[in-house]
């Protein structure tokens, strides 16, 4: 790989931005494009832990520590969750709350806060919707956008989410499979008493497991007036899941609110109260949960590859989506930097990355699916629980 070869990244989610930061630190030319206008709320919370040991050594020193995204950063409280059986209301344990800087440390934060940190000193060209790419015989490729503009590079990375347009062209129309789960989500500001019940023995919130539905309720921000902003996502499945999903897409905020109250009527009182206080005004438009399982361990050879949800979108039941995406960005970024030093061909770099990361990420997708198919004792912690019982 030559030092003047440019990497085109489609999608400015956390995985694409992390890759851009790694390339920037290594002096590899890159461009980042995103279809949104830059004001779209990415929302909700994600947690990083499994990826941190790979991430930190590759980040440039001129951006903030990602740990600063956590609402608990200034209190020095370690992030972590507790897991509750929704039927018995029993605590199943608390995730490892390792101190900051420890190898097992977890960073939990609003996705937007992470993106703002990873976007520092990275120019993102917003409002650019990918249309197609064309590879040339000279080893370059042209990327075209729906507004009539184009750019030229030598590597194209599709980091454009579970409905990736790059993947659709690369794999001849491949689409992610819709999950049987329907999602309902909301956000609510609560007082210190209810917040304490939601946090339990943790500092970040809780995961709730039932036979046919799972939920998380996670803190996004600690407000100056002593209240806390929480987001919650309820995912449930019914026999006629396609019909249910269509209903959720068309339902009014009032209807979604009533459905959430109905589905959680037997849950612990603090969860019922949280949903009740959300009200119709706190409800958001549901999103479709999609799974991407690539069957082959290598993509069609060329100068195009995939990253993040474009390669491995999964059910959000084990907290591994962002961790897997960022770990993949670290592997791909380091592979490109090493390839530059060793003058390795782009084909060999991408082939090695895919042969390692497609099977690894596919396994994580299937593990998350298994957690969703499990009963109320399913391991929603992703193997992070350190002790059981209250």
Burial state string for 97-127 with b = 16 or more CB within 10 A and e = fewer than 16: bbebeeebbbbbbbbebbbbbbbeebebeee
State residue 352's pLDDT score.
Answer: 96
Q: Decide: 185 and 275 in contact? Cβ < 8 Å.
A: no
State residue 226's pLDDT score.
Answer: 93
What backbone torsions phi and psi does residue 305 show, to the nearest 5 degrees? -140, 175
User: Which residue ranges in the chain fall short of pLDDT 50?
Assistant: 387-390
Residues of the chain with CATH 3.30.9.30: 179-289
What are the E-state strand segments in the chain? 7-10, 30-33, 45-48, 82-85, 91-95, 107-110, 124-125, 130-135, 141-145, 150-153, 155-158, 177-178, 181-190, 205-209, 213-222, 228-237, 283-284, 290-291, 304-306, 385-387
Tens-place pLDDT, residues 316-333: 888 889 999 999 999 999
116 contact partners, CB below 8 Å, separation of at least 6: 69
Q: How many beta carbons lie within 10 A of that of residue 343, not counting itself?
A: 9
Burial state string for 367-390 with b = 16 or more CB within 10 A and e = fewer than 16: bbbebbeeebebbbbbebbeeeee
Residues of the chain with CATH 3.50.50.60: 7-74+110-177+290-373
The residue count of the chain comes to 390
CA–CA dist 199, 205 (Å, integer)? 5
Tens-place pLDDT, residues 175-229: 999 999 999 999 999 999 999 999 998 999 999 888 889 999 999 999 999 999 9
State residue 143's pLDDT score.
Answer: 98
Q: How many beta carbons lie within 10 A of that of residue 297, not counting itself?
A: 14
- With H, G, I as helix, E, B as strand and everything else as coil, classify residue 371: helix
- Topology (CATH) of 7-74+110-177+290-373: FAD/NAD(P)-binding domain (3.50.50)
Structure tokens, 158:
């599709």
- Topology (CATH) of 179-289: D-Amino Acid Oxidase; Chain A, domain 2 (3.30.9)
């Amino acid at each position: 790989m030559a030092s003047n070869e440019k990497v085109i990244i489609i999608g400015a989610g956390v995985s694409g931005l992390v890759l851009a930061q790694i390339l920037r630190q290594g002096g590899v030319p890159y461009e980042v494009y995103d279809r949104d206008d830059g004001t779209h709320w990415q929302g909700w919370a994600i947690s990083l832990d499994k990826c941190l040991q790979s991430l930190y050594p590759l980040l440039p020193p001129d951006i903030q520590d990602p740990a600063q995204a956590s609402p608990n950063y200034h209190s020095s409280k370690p992030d972590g969750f507790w897991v509750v059986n929704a039927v018995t209301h029993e605590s199943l344990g608390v995730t490892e709350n390792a101190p900051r800087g420890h190898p097992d440390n977890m960073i939990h934060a609003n996705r937007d806060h992470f993106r703002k940190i990873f976007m520092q000193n990275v120019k993102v060209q917003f409002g650019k919707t990918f249309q197609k790419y064309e590879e040339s015989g000279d080893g370059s490729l042209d990327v075209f956008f729906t507004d009539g503009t184009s750019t030229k590079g030598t590597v194209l990375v599709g980091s454009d989410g579970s409905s990736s347009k790059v993947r659709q062209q690369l794999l001849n129309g491949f689409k992610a499979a819709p999950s049987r789960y329907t999602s309902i989500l909301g956000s609510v500001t609560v007082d210190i008493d209810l917040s304490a019940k939601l946090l339990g023995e943790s500092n970040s919130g809780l995961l709730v497991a039932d036979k046919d539905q799972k939920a998380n309720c996670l803190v996004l921000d600690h407000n100056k007036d002593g209240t806390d902003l929480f987001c919650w996502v309820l995912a449930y499945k019914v026999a006629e899941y396609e019909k249910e999903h269509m209903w959720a897409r068309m339902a009014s905020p009032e209807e979604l609110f009533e459905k959430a109250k109905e589905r959680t009527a037997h849950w612990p009182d603090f969860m019922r109260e949280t949903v009740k206080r959300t009200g119709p005004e706190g409800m958001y438009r549901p999103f479709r949960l999609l799974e991407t399982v690539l069957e082959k361990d290598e993509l069609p050879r060329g100068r195009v590859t995939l990253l993040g949800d474009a390669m491995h979108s999964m059910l959000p039941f084990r907290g591994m989506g962002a961790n897997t995406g960022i770990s993949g960005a670290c592997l791909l970024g380091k592979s490109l930097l090493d390839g530059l030093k060793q003058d390795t061909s782009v084909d060999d770099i991408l082939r090695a990355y895919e042969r390692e990361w497609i099977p690894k990420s596919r396994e994580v997708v299937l593990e998350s699916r298994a957690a969703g198919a499990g009963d109320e004792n399913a391991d929603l912690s992703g193997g992070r629980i350190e002790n059981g019982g209250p």
